[in-house]
Homo-oligomer: A and B are copies of this chain.
Amino acid sequence: MFRFTDRMASKALGKLLQGPKVCAEFAACKRCKVLSVENINPHVKKMEYAVRGPIVIRAGEIEQELKKGVSKPFADVIRANIGDCHAVGQKPLTFIRQVVALCSYPDLMESSQFPSDAKERAQRILEGCGGHSVGAYSDSAGVRVIREDVAKYISERDGFPCDPDDVFLSTGASDGIKSIMKLAMTGEGGDKRAGVLIPIPQYPLYTATIAEYNAYPIGYYLNEDKNWSLDMEELHRALKEAQPHCQPRAIVIINPGNPTGQVLTKENIQDIIRFAKDNNLVLMADEVYQHNVYASGCKFHSFKKVLMEMGPDYSSLELASFMSTSKGYMGECGFRGGYTEVINLDPGVKAMLVKSISAKLCSSVSGQAVMDVVVNPPRPGEPSYDQFKKEREMVLGQLAEKAKMVTETFNSIPGISCNTVQGAMYAFPSIELPKKAIQAAKDKGQAPDAFYCYNLLEETGICVVPGSGFGQVEGTWHFRTTILPPVEKLGEMLGRFRDFHIRFMDTYS
């Protein structure tokens, strides 16, 4: 049955010559594989995605152990590793879900259980769908009426026009970010690779995508001493140092910041726009937390608006802004809705973008429907307005309260310091680790902050992500926690955290 070919023999020999990892009887071996960790795509091998990394896998195992009755010093795992609102108890907004249910099962249009404005929204979406079904593919860029609603939202937000043809609906924001970054790749290796400026600390999607695309990451450090603000000098330094190693093509800004929670000032945004223009960079603005601003005196300014206000000198700057249904007050992560607005793109390049996304067919149409509600919520006077407003304000109000609570609690623990969480959904406190702890981590082959976080998880059930997964100034240690658990649970979590930290410091100092 089994045929031994010359090609296999030479391949087997080649593998044998490579080292000891390959079975001596490769060709006839029942276990040898075409794909091995040694020979798979090296760029995939390099990808890291900390918010779903090994510590999160361990958290899942602990949950299983708890279910099986294994005794632990805690009753449950608190997942503060990922911005997954509903998973930690946030309730979906009624109106969003009503519209999705109506779109999914239009027989409900007859039901008195649904308000008229939800029915109108759903009807309008369905009329924009092929065969009036959310089961039809949409255009690659999304259902036309939804793109029009996105454009209207953006123009009302900014006071500047937005063209629906500049709007592309995507599978969450991640998918839009990857599509734009993909365009900017050079297709070359070594020092001809595309360089992409990213903040450090950053959301690991960026480093993962840069690794996958074999691009060159140009890290610029956020200034922890100034509440994670963005210094222009640091941008210049980072770019200059990277220039011999790559072709810088794009800069990523996350505002409000993830994992760092800062909110950029208008002046800062203006400086960044000038920097991008002067240095010939595509500006990628990750603005998925645009609804999540809590600190007094802070305000969200969109890059689009600031760019438009800066006048015609900047009207050629290629800007992509990304938005998601997963964050904000809606937290509809599982629907995978998102959009990208791209302005000032060369028309030929835009055609290439449309072509490149067409091979993915389209993003989930029910995710698109969720996005439609986000950009076109009930208006004053509509039947669902009051309830929608109340539900939205409750979520955002609690997030503001939790942002404050997290900042204050961490700052009250000796050895931890935490910048004000001005926006987004995370805190990124720094921890002073004793030398003995650093040595213990080294002995285990772990980064010191990973060692800390693993200990935290095993002793308290709290799952946070080590700072090393996001990047940090060498010799400093951090972790990222979400601020999402319900107020009471968050209080309990911070209590468990404090006790752990004190014990940990006692053990290692």
Contact = CB atoms under 8 A, between A and B. Distances in A.
Interface in A252-283: 274, 277-282
A483 interface: no
A101 B109 CA distance: 12
A214 B175 CA distance: 20
Interface string A7-21: 110010000000000
A141 to B, nearest CB: 11
A395 interface: no
Interface in A435-454: none
Interface string A276-294: 0111111000000000000
A76 B500 CA distance: 69
Given A34-B318, A82-B137, A212-B356, A361 B333 contact: yes
B335 A134 contact: yes
Given A346-B33, A364-B335, A52 B313 contact: no
A162 interface: no
Given A40-B352, A104-B366, A249-B34, A358 B52 contact: yes
B364 A84 contact: no
Nearest to A364: B364
A32 interface: yes
Interface in A109-144: 111, 113, 129-131, 133-138, 140
Interface string A71-102: 00000000000101111111010000110110
- Secondary structure call for the A interface: loop
A205 interface: yes
A308 to B, nearest CB: 14
Interface in A304-359: 310, 312-313, 315-316, 318, 326, 330-336, 344-346, 348-349, 352, 355-356, 358-359
27 contacts: A5-B278, A5-B279, A7-B280, A8-B278, A11-B280, A30-B312, A37-B352, A39-B186, A40-B185, A41-B187, A42-B187, A43-B187, A44-B352, A44-B356, A49-B358, A82-B137, A84-B137, A86-B130, A86-B133, A174-B359, A174-B360, A174-B361, A189-B189, A336-B362, A336-B363, A364-B364, A364-B366
